[in-house]
Amino acid sequence: MKISKMQELLDADVLCCEENLGKHVYSAFGCDLMSDVLAYVTDQAVLLTGLVNPQVIRTALMMDMTCIIFVRTKKPNDEMIQLAKEHGIVMMSTAMTLYTACGTLYSNGLIGTKEVGK
Partner 1 sequence: MSDNLVFRFDVQGNDFTSAGQASVQVKKNLRQLGLDADTIRRVSIAMYEGEINMVIHAGGGVAEVIVSEDYIEIILEDRGPGIKDIDQAMQAGYSTATETIRSLGFGAGMGLPNMKKNTDSMEITSTIDVGTRIVMRVML
Instruction: Give the footprint of partner 1 on this chain (CB under 8 A).
Output: 32-36, 38-39, 43, 51, 53-56, 58-59, 61-64, 79
E strands present in 72-117:
90-93
CA pair distance 75, 14, nearest whole angstrom: 10
Q: Which is nearer to partner 1, 18 or 64 (CB)?
A: 64
Shortest distance (Å) from residue 109 CB to partner 1: 25
Q: Which is nearer to partner 1, 62 or 111 (CB)?
A: 62
Residues across the chain:
118
Q: Which is nearer to partner 1, 34 or 48 (CB)?
A: 34
Per DSSP, the residues of 1-28 read -BHHHHHHHHTPEEEE-GGGTT-B--EE
Shortest distance (Å) from residue 91 CB to partner 1: 16
Shortest distance (Å) from residue 57 CB to partner 1: 9
Shortest distance (Å) from residue 8 CB to partner 1: 28
Residue 115 carries which DSSP code? P
Distances (CA, A) of 108 to 14, 97, 101, 111: 20, 17, 11, 9
Q: Which is nearer to partner 1, 11 or 43 (CB)?
A: 43
